[in-house]
Amino acid sequence: MIIIESAGITDIGKKRKINEDSMFLDNNLGLYLVADGMGGHRAGEVASNIVVETISNYIKKLSEDDDTQEFNIPDETLSSKANHLISAISLSNRIAHQVSSKNEAYRGMGSTLSAVYFNKNTFIAANVGDSPIYLVHNGDIELISVPHTVIAEQEAAGSEGSRQLGPEFYNMLTRAVGTDETVKPDICEIPYFKNDIIVICSDGLSGNVTPNEILNAVENKSSKTICHYLIELANERGGDDNISVIIIKIKSAHSNTTGIKWLIWRVLEEFKYLFIKKRV
Amino acid sequence: MPLLTLKFKDNAIQDFTLQKEKSITIGRQNNNNIVIENLAVSGHHAKIDSVGDGFVLTDLQSKNGCFVNERLVTSHWLKHGDIISIGKHTLIFEYRQGEVRPAVPSGDMDKTMVMDTSKYRDMMSKSDSNTLSPRMKKNAPSGFLSYLSGGDGEVELEKKLIKIGKDPSCDIVASGLGVGRTAATISKRPNGFYLSFVGGMSKIKVNSKVIKESVALKEFDIIELGSVKMQFFTKE
């Protein structure tokens, strides 16, 4: 049993004329997406939209149809839900790529994608591009996505050269959804615990606010308050890009010890629900 | 193809034509393509690589640095009319009249772009092996658990999520009183392997310490659960 309190805000920032970020959140599906589009004119907006719409629709459909369909398993070492997410990402890549190759105005468009999808006792984190996913656990913040940028990959390879790469490489991605015929997300599956907080954002936030500042911001506030605070902070520091952030707070995780606690809690929650409903 | 004009003060000394898919080096030693005999110039001072349709100047950790249009650079996409200063010499980068100039990749630097993968590989292969690693990415080390008791051999932690427990479907099966069906999991994250407790009365231990939530596994940690005792290690 998992109870999530989540919120997400996307903001145009202070310098851009359009918001090319797209996002999706649904506590019932347990699916959270941030996509940061790129490409001239309105192409970035189109790309990030295609990605978010395709993935959320695909996962929605799967959860409604149960397992009436047969799925190909792209990766045997992953759980079936992780495989569903990979299939959804591949599909969104195919669609975005088709749109861009058929339409001159959208040529070369692409989008990052960072996704969190909840499984029974774990959550799956998948990403393409540089929109970070952080996990806050026990007072520590950890990047659980893999940044697909030239600089980060050079650093990861232990290359001396990464320090010498000029500013034109700072925003250079090595992977994006929609730019090639296929795409491979980085993926991991992590058990969650009560009080864990997951943060997904676009580089409009992570470029201006450090992980430690995010860590300090997420304690003892509601998800919505945190989102507002972080977006304001990034805007105060220039707001040079679109800013999107999703905060996922795990209020109650699966309880392995007792059923009785859960039962009492369920009953209380039911009451709360009735009470609120009546008032509305 | 663009031209580099070497000048000392106001006097043009020599012209060099840059070529696509060729790199040139600049320095004091004779084995450079452009030799500048001046003590302010390092042995191998800088290089210019052809990357895609453009050219990139890279400083080779020279003592006195490279300047482009009076700004210190470590790496710079050359544009028409750029003036490179090395010591007291200058090199002027110019396209010939009517020559197609590449779209400036840094034209809108705050915009994110995707690097053409072939361009990326090109750049890697043409650059010095110690400046830019030809390997795109260091392969993450593989994790292993080797049995100390309760089993034989070693288990490679291939899956992103490895299950340990009583249930036969688990990747590592442990028996014993109170061991959960899935007692614990090990997940592979970008920065390593993490062991997490899932359920059961009998708790999993790492180095004799009970794990109630999750812990990052370190080299040679000892994991105990029910009948099973294993040691964690990694291999490149």
Residue that is written with structure tokens 């994790």 in the block: B143
Interface contact A167-B191, CB threshold 8 A: no
Residue-level pLDDT at B127 = 47
Of A174, A180, A240, Cβ closest to residue B110: A240
Residue A52 to residue B36: CA distance in whole angstroms:
56
Which range (A221-230, A260-269, B126-135) has the least confidence? B126-135
Residue-level pLDDT at B70 = 79
pLDDT bin (cut points 50, 70, 90) of residue B107 is very low
Name the residue of chain A whose CA is nearest to B137's CA.
A157
Name the residue of chain A whose CA is nearest to B161's CA.
A189
- Indicate yes or no: pTM above 0.80: no
Residue-level pLDDT at A226 = 96
Assigned token pair, B145: 């658990």
Per-residue pLDDT of A45-102, as tens digits, reads 999 999 999 999 999 998 887 654 555 666 777 888 999 999 999 999 999 999 999 9
Q: Burial, A61: exposed, middle or buried (Cβ in 10 Å; 0-12, 13-18, 19+)?
A: exposed
Give the mean pLDDT of chain A: 86
Q: Does A150 touch chain B (CB under 8 A)?
A: yes
pLDDT value at A165 more than 60: yes
End-to-end Cα spacing for chain B: 44
- Contact assessment for residue A119 and residue A188, using Cβ atoms and an 8 Å cutoff: no
Dihedral of the alpha carbons of B31, B32, B34, B40, in degrees to the nearest 10: -100
Q: Which of residues 175-234 of A touch B (CB under 8 A)?
A: 175-176, 179-180, 186-191, 193, 203
Q: How far is B104 from chain A (nearest CA, A)?
A: 10
Task: State which H helix or E strand residue A32 sits in.
Answer: strand A31-38
CB contacts, 8 Å: B188 with chain A: 188
Residue-level pLDDT at B125 = 54
pLDDT value at B188 more than 80: yes
Residue-level pLDDT at B234 = 92
Residue A112 to residue A125: CA distance in whole angstroms:
14
Q: Does B215 touch chain A (CB under 8 A)?
A: no
Interface contact B77-A174, CB threshold 8 A: no
Name the residue of chain A whose CA is nearest to B200's CA.
A256
Mutation pick from B23, B114, B121, B125 vs chain A, by most beta carbons of A within 10 Å, is B114
Average pLDDT, stretch A215-240?
A: 93
Residue A152 to residue A122: CA distance in whole angstroms:
27
Residue A2 to residue A36: CA distance in whole angstroms:
28
Residues of chain A with pLDDT > 90, as a percent, come to: 62
- How many residues are given for chain A? 280
